[in-house]
Amino acid sequence: MLNEKQIETMIKAGRDFMKMPHEDPDYKSDQDLKKQQPPLVKEAMGGQLIDLPTDFSDLNLENDFMKIINTRQSHRVFTSQNMTLLELSFLLWSTQGVKSIRGKSYATIRTVPCGGARHEFETYFVVQYVEGLEKGLYHYLPMTHQIEFLSPVEDCREFIDKSTAGQTWCTKASIVLYYSSVFYRAEWRYGVYSHRVQLMDIGHVMQNVYMACTAAHLGTTAIGYIDGDYLNAVFTLDGEEECMICCCPVGTVDAKNQQAEIDFYAFVKEQGL
Ligand SMILES: Cc1cc2nc3c(=O)[nH]c(=O)nc-3n(C[C@H](O)[C@H](O)[C@H](O)COP(=O)(O)O)c2cc1C
């Protein structure tokens, strides 16, 4: 249990972290020091490779931008239907897809913006209900727009529940996207100033999850509260150089459940907030 002094210290550290620091004009990042740039993406981890379809014209997408903006919401009531491989492909493309390379191999240009185009994130996911895919753990390979199958998961609901630190509503999702940061990709360029930017970067990724889901008539919620240690262990991340930071469950939804969505916030009315 944190004592008052510890709480005060942590609040101050958190506020200082969020503030734009006074930059030291003499500070040099590893890029300034001409140290070797880290790889733009993580290599495949040895799993079976699966090509993803890319003809998104076959999807019944909402194209009215204002409608997407105005109907975006967090969904926590999923109907546990199969998603298609094309829908999965669309989500991965919309959130981390590589459109081009800047220079010979200086940076990837993707469907989301990112400070210095460092694109420090890796996408992992668990498949529970996707047509034609085995239930299990996967890793997205953005350079080739493929996925790799890492390992089967017997009880996806138990896995998702643990990974989201007991947010049991997530267990009906068709997939859960898990995002890690490979810290040095951003640190190489921005050094001690990179971490604040990384958190801004991931917000853009998660917003694109919302946008893509809304367009594809799927539901999602950004999740900051995860069991990071559990996820690092399961996806074999060392937790130091690469660490899980957040996730987004994605599922099929039905307008009939809108009242159940509202009921998640019943406490607001009950407590007269
Ligand atoms: C960074 C971030 C972290 C979040 N973490 C959680 C979470 O752990 N659990 C949850 O139920 N909702 C989480 N949410 C969803 C918010 O509760 C939700 O966006 C907010 O209540 C507003 O509702 P709306 O998205 O429907 O507009 C998170 C949202 C963001 C942007």
First and final C-alpha spacing in the chain:
28
Give the mutation target among 221, 231, 246, 264 for probing the ligand 1 site: most ligand atoms within 8 A of CB.
Answer: 221
Rounded to the nearest 10 degrees, the angle between the axes of helix 4-18 and helix 194-215 is 80
pLDDT given at position 135: 98
Bridge partner list, 220: 250
Does residue 260 form part of some domain?
A: yes
Domain of residue 247: give its range: 40-270
Is residue 237 a contact partner of residue 243, using CB atoms and an 8 Å limit? yes
In a domain, 32, yes or no: no
User: What is the structure's pLDDT at 143?
Assistant: 98
Rounded to the nearest angstrom, the distance between the alpha carbon of 220 and the centre of ligand 1 is 10
**Does 133 reside within a domain?**
yes
Number of separate domains in the chain: 1
C-alpha R_g of the chain: 20
Domain contains 12: no
Residue range 136-157: average pLDDT? 98
The predicted model scores a pTM of: 0.97
Mutation choice for ligand 1 from 223, 245, 250, CB with most ligand atoms inside 8 A:
223
Give pLDDT tens digits for 26-81: 999 999 999 999 999 999 999 999 999 999 999 999 999 999 999 999 999 999 99
| Proportion of the chain above pLDDT 70, given as a percent | 100
Q: Domain holding 118: CATH number?
A: 3.40.109.10
**227-265 per-position pLDDT tens digit:** 999 999 999 999 999 999 999 999 999 999 999 999 999
- Rounded Cα–Cα distance for residues 162 and 156 (Å): 10
The pair of three-digit structure tokens given for residue 223, joined into one six-digit string: 């999740």
What mean pLDDT do residues 171-176 have? 98
- Per-residue pLDDT tens for 115-143? 999 999 999 999 999 999 999 999 999 99
3-state secondary structure of 4: helix
Q: Are 160 and 175 in contact (CB under 8 A)?
A: no
Would residue 113 count as lying in a domain?
yes
Task: Give the other-Cβ count within 10 Å of 155's Cβ.
Answer: 12
- Predicted pLDDT at 20: 86
